Chains A and B, each alone.
Chain A
Amino acid sequence: MIDDDFHQDVASTLTLDIRNLHTHFDTRAGTLRAVDGVNLRIKRGEIVGLVGESGSGKSVTGFSVIGLVDPPGRIVGGEVRFQGRNLVGLEEEALRQLRGHDIAMIFQDPMMTLNPVLRISTQMVEAITAHEIVAEDEALERAHDALASVGIPHPEERLRDYPHQFSGGMRQRVAIAIALLHNPALIIADEPTTALDVTIQGQILAVVQRLVAERGTSLLWITHDLSVVAGLAHRVAVMYAGRIVEEGPVDEVLDHPMHPYTAGLIASLPSHNRRGTRLAQIPGMAPPAHDRPTGCSFRPRCARATAECEQDPPATTPAQGRSLRCFNPMPAGSQGGRA
Chain B
Amino acid sequence: MALWLLRRLVQAGFVMLAMSAIVFIGLHAIGNPIDILISPEADQAERARAIAALGLDKPLWEQYWLFLQGALHGDLGRSFVFNEPALRLIAGRMPATLELAVTAVLLSVCIGLPLGLYAGLHPNSFTGRLVMTGSIFGFSLPSFWVGLMLIMVFAVTLGWLPSSGRGETISIAGVGWSFLTVDGWRHLLLPALNLALFNISLVLRLTRAGVRETLPLDYIRFARAKGLTPGRVIYVHVLRNILIPVVTVIGLEFGSTIAFSVVTESVFAWPGMGKLIIDSINVLDRPVIVAYLMITVALFVTINLVVDLLYTLLDPRVRLGGRR
Residue B232 interfacial (CB < 8 Å): yes
Q: What are the residues of chain B within 8 A of A109 when measuring CB–CB?
A: 218
Q: Which of A93-101, A243-251, A261-269 contacts B (4 or more CB under 8 A)?
A: A93-101
Report yes or no: B229 in contact with A100, Cβ–Cβ below 8 A.
no
B145 lies within 8 A of chain A by Cβ: no
Sampled A-B contacts (28; CB under 8 Å): A66-B225, A68-B224, A68-B225, A70-B216, A96-B227, A96-B229, A100-B225, A100-B226, A104-B226, A105-B225, A107-B221, A112-B217, A113-B218, A113-B222, A114-B222, A115-B219, A115-B223, A116-B316, A116-B317, A117-B315, A118-B236, A118-B240, A119-B316, A123-B223, A126-B228, A126-B232, A162-B317, A165-B320
A175 touches B240 (CB 8 A): no
B241 at the interface (CB under 8 A from A): yes
| Contact status A162-B316, CB under 8 Å | yes
* Residues in A69-102 with C-beta less than 8 Å from chain B: 70, 92, 96-101
A60 contacts chain B at the CB level, 8 A cutoff:
no
How far, in angstroms, from A126 to B316 measured CA to CA in the complex? 19
Would you call A131 an interface residue if the criterion is a C-beta within 8 Å of the partner chain's C-beta atoms?
Answer: yes
Provide the residues of chain A in CB contact with B236, threshold 8 Å. Answer: 118, 126
Q: Establish whether residues A115 and B316, one from each chain, have CB atoms under 8 Å apart when the complex forms.
A: no
Residues of A within 8 Å of B216, CB to CB, are 70
Chain B residue nearest to A92 in the complex (CB): B230
Instruction: Report the Cα distance A160→B218, complex, angstroms.
Output: 22
A117 touches B225 (CB 8 A): no
The count of chain A contact residues (Cβ–Cβ below 8 Å) is 33
> Once bound together, how far apart are the Cα atoms of A111 and B75, in whole Å?
55
**Further contacts, 17 of them, CB under 8 A, given A162-B316, A162-B317:** A96-B227, A97-B227, A98-B227, A100-B225, A100-B227, A104-B225, A105-B225, A107-B222, A112-B217, A113-B222, A114-B219, A116-B219, A116-B241, A127-B226, A127-B228, A130-B226, A178-B226
Which size bracket describes the interface of B in this complex?
Answer: 20 to 34
- Distance in Å from the Cβ of A143 to the closest Cβ of chain B? 12
Q: How far is the CA of A96 from the CA of B225 in the complex (A)?
A: 8
By a CB distance below 8 angstroms, the chain B residues around A92 are: 230
Closest to A67 in B: B224
Cβ-based interface call for B314 (8 A): yes
Q: Is A164 an interface residue (CB 8 A)?
A: yes
Per-residue CB proximity of B285-324 to A under 8 Å, as 1/0?
0000000000000000000000000000011110010000
List the A side residues contacting B221 at CB < 8 Å: 68, 107
Verify if B237 is at the interface (C-beta below 8 Å from A).
Answer: yes
Q: Which residues of A are in contact with B by a Cβ distance under 8 Å?
A: 66, 68, 70, 92, 96-101, 104-105, 107-109, 112-119, 123, 126-127, 130-131, 162, 164-165, 175, 178
**Which residues of chain B have C-beta atoms less than 8 A from A105's C-beta?**
222, 225
A165→B317 CA distance, assembly (Å): 9
Residues of B within 8 A of A114 (CB): 219, 222
Closest to A108 in B: B218
B219 to chain A, nearest CB (A): 5
B211 CB, nearest partner CB in chain A, Å: 14
Q: When chains A and B are docked, how far (Å) is the Cα of A107 from the Cα of B216?
A: 13
How far apart are B237's CB and chain A's nearest CB, in angstroms?
A: 5
Which residues B104-148 have CB closer than 8 A to chain A?
none
Residues of the B chain whose Cβ atoms lie less than 8 Å from the Cβ of A108 = 218
Q: A116 contacts which chain B residues (CB < 8 A)?
A: 219, 241, 315-317
Q: In the complex the two chains form, what is the Cα distance from A175 to B236 in whole Å?
A: 18
**B319 — nearest CB in chain A belongs to which residue?**
A162
A-B pairs, 5 with minimum CB distance = A100-B227, A112-B218, A99-B227, A105-B225, A100-B226
Write the nearest CB–CB distance from B212 to chain A, whole angstroms: 12
Chain B neighbourhood of A175, CB < 8 A: 222
Q: Roughly how many angstroms separate A334 CA and B229 CA in the complex, as a whole number?
A: 52
Contacts of B219 in A (CB 8 A): 112-116
A165 CB contacts on chain B under 8 angstroms: 320
